Copies of this chain bind each other. A is one copy, B any other.
Amino acid sequence: MLILLFFKNLFSSDSMTSEILKEIRKVIASKIPENVEITKVEFEGPELVVYTKNPEIVAEDGGLIRTLAKELKKRIIVRSDASALLDPEKTIEKIKEIVPEEAKITNIYFDDVTGEVIVEARKPGLVIGKHGSTSKSIIKHTGWVPKILRTPPIPSKIVEKIRKLLRRESKKRRQILRNLGCRIHRQPKYENDWARITALGGFREVGRSCLYLQTPNSKILLDCGVNVAANDEKNAYPYLNIPEFILDEIEAVVISHAHLDHSGFVPYLYHYGYRGPVYCSAPTRDLMALLQLDHIDIAEREGRELPFNAKDVNKCLKHTITLEYGEVTDITPDIRLTLHNAGHILGSAILHLHIGDGQHNLVYTGDFKYEKTRLLEPAVTDFPRLETLVMESTYGGKEDIQPSREMAEKRLIKVIYDTIKRGGKVLIPVFAVGRAQELMVVLDEYIKSGILEEIPIFVDGMVWEATAIHTTRPEYLSKTLSDQIFHYGYNPFTSEIFNKVSSSDERKDVVEGEPCVILSTSGMLAGGNSVEYFKWLCEDEKNTLVFVGYQAEGSLGRRLQKNRRDITFEENGKMKVYKVKMQIETIEGFSGHSDRKQLMKYVHNLSPKPEKILVCHGNAYKSLDLASSIYKKYRIETRAPLNLEAVRIY
């Protein structure tokens, strides 16, 4: 009985949804003024879409939607009924008339499916206007609801690609969202009397992060990463082959941030038939697609077969729903998700999940930095409620104390200064996303302030592309940076000191040119252009190699740190030995992870205090050390589960 009933009716909720919509229509009818005609109400993913023949009245009365949203406890989008829409050509004219020229509109196009006009502009704030006045004016005069996108100051191929894809697939996407809406807003079937987390990857290890959250009503994944450093499939991918993981029943995937160890296995889910949503921040979506495609690309070039391909990345994009920090969103009938800034990389989020009707509040930190950096604000510590915390422990060991940012920056500048002075070049191998941009801001700052002389800084391929994405989403950057960009019109990433390098010829010019700084992937000299630069530069003692990130055991970076100085590469079928004479420096303190002190301080500052803390994303020793230290200091129950273990959270 129990078993047979268990899966029945889980999604046969169409009639139930229409019942719910009927109720909602009643509420709307009772709340809106008589002169507003509603033509349609439907779910679109987590949101409720209201179509009206009088968008201008609704736009004018801002309180109306707020009241409805509060009353219905749903996020509401207002769209215009087809009959209220002005002819597209006239609309374009009208928009150009309404929006000031300084907004620098670069593109206007229409989405017939949603009745939205998409306006791409260099200064989207000016298209919105003060308190949305310009935007409202567009609605009033054209009927079209504007969706305003920033034209990145640095052109980004991936952003362009994603926008095109979503434009092309608008109709399909709306259908996806409508079906999803029915699923999300169904009535929960079972009493919410338990919830548990199964560790599918990234516990007592770093890599392939994957948490499986189950309640009697919902099954969702938090992160789904790969361990790119693993030698075999078994250790590279999360344990999705266990019996409780039923792909068809996964209702949502939430991605904390774009790094591959948190997002790299998502395409696999789509490859094997997952068609549910991925929730993440907008920067995470774009950066994730960039990194996933690069991962597939590298594997192809290296002749390794991955269990997914580039098409799956597109499928994923089609199903991704982006959320802003602080936006409370229903993702299943009994789970509400809110993203909060994690301070780790652009768009990185701490996930807050409210389960049931007040039953439980789970926070998963993902990777987080509890310190203000050049790039980002520190991770959020305040939550409306919190019972269970799952936190990372990359630097969870007692000894994992890092120098201050200031110290790290000074050291970096000194190393660069010395190298340039003696006529050398500085090679900094970096991951594409995160530290690279942090360093760019640092370099720009020190050059701007005159401490460092103006030297060319070369930013290679992937790093450049990731940086472009940063320029699309300045609102996610630290207050200092976004103030600079919005109020003073100064964007460090577009500074002239940075030069994009994207071909072999250009690279050759760089190494043969004047003293400079080079930022290039991969960060551990494990393939990628950083290795090419290394070969060119390593035999000249004037040059310097600077490591600013973790070098994994076995990587070339690590070997160099261990003072190996004869390095052999295979070139055109022959072995060639390089005698490394360049200076090699390791500078700690630029990490996007909280160090031990910051981890402890984070727990200390959490509000409210959680009842239970699960530790993940650290090797066994660090996870256990952090777990026991937190318990000893704060008397909070802690645990460092093993992969494949399930922990009841209530």
Contacts and interface: CB of A to CB of B under 8 A. Distances in A.
A645 B645 contact: yes
A645 B644 contact: no
Interface in A219-252: 219, 233-234, 237, 240-247, 249
B645 A241 contact: no
Contacts of A642: 648
Contacts of A647: 645
A2 B194 CA distance: 29
A237 B2 contact: yes
13 contacts: A1-B272, A3-B241, A5-B241, A6-B241, A214-B242, A219-B243, A243-B243, A243-B245, A243-B246, A244-B244, A642-B648, A643-B648, A645-B645
A194 B199 CA distance: 14
A198 interface: yes
Contacts of A648: 642-645
Closest 9 CB pairs of A and B: A244-B244, A646-B646, A243-B244, A642-B648, A2-B241, A1-B307, A6-B241, A645-B648, A644-B648
Interface string A466-503: 00000000000000000000000000000000000000
Contacts of A150: none
Given A5-B241, A194-B644, 16 more contacts: A1-B272, A2-B241, A3-B245, A196-B644, A196-B645, A214-B242, A242-B244, A243-B243, A243-B244, A243-B245, A243-B249, A642-B648, A643-B648, A645-B645, A645-B646, A645-B648
A272 B3 CA distance: 8
A575 interface: no
A349 B642 CA distance: 30
B4 A272 contact: yes
Interface residues of A, number: 33
Interface in A251-289: 272
A612 to B, nearest CB: 11
A2 B244 contact: no
A67 to B, nearest CB: 40
A496 B261 CA distance: 76
Interface string A631-650: 00000000000111111100
Interface in A81-105: none
A307 B3 CA distance: 11
Find the residue from A194, A246, A645 having the highest chain B CB count within 10 A: A645
Interface in A348-370: none
Nearest to A1: B307
Interface of A: 1-6, 193-194, 196, 198, 214, 219, 233-234, 237, 240-247, 249, 272, 307, 642-648
A233 B1 CA distance: 11
Contacts of A249: 243
Contacts of A247: 3
Nearest to A203: B648
A409 B241 CA distance: 56
Contacts of A242: 214, 244
A397 to B, nearest CB: 21
Contacts of A194: 644
A252 to B, nearest CB: 16
B644 A644 contact: no
Nearest to A244: B244
A301 B241 CA distance: 46
A6 B247 CA distance: 13
A631 to B, nearest CB: 13
Contact of A646 (B2, B4, B198, B272): B198
A272 B1 CA distance: 8
Contacts of A234: 193
A611 to B, nearest CB: 14
A3 B647 CA distance: 23
A2 B214 CA distance: 21
A188 to B, nearest CB: 15
A192 to B, nearest CB: 13
B307 A2 contact: yes
Contact of A644 (B3, B245, B646): B646
Find the residue from A193, A234, A644 having the highest chain B CB count within 10 A: A644
Contacts of A214: 242-243
Contacts of A2: 233, 237, 240-241, 307
Contacts of A219: 243
A440 to B, nearest CB: 39
Nearest to A2: B241
Find the residue from A194, A196, A243, A246 having the highest chain B CB count within 10 A: A243
Contacts of A196: 644-645
Contacts of A244: 242-244
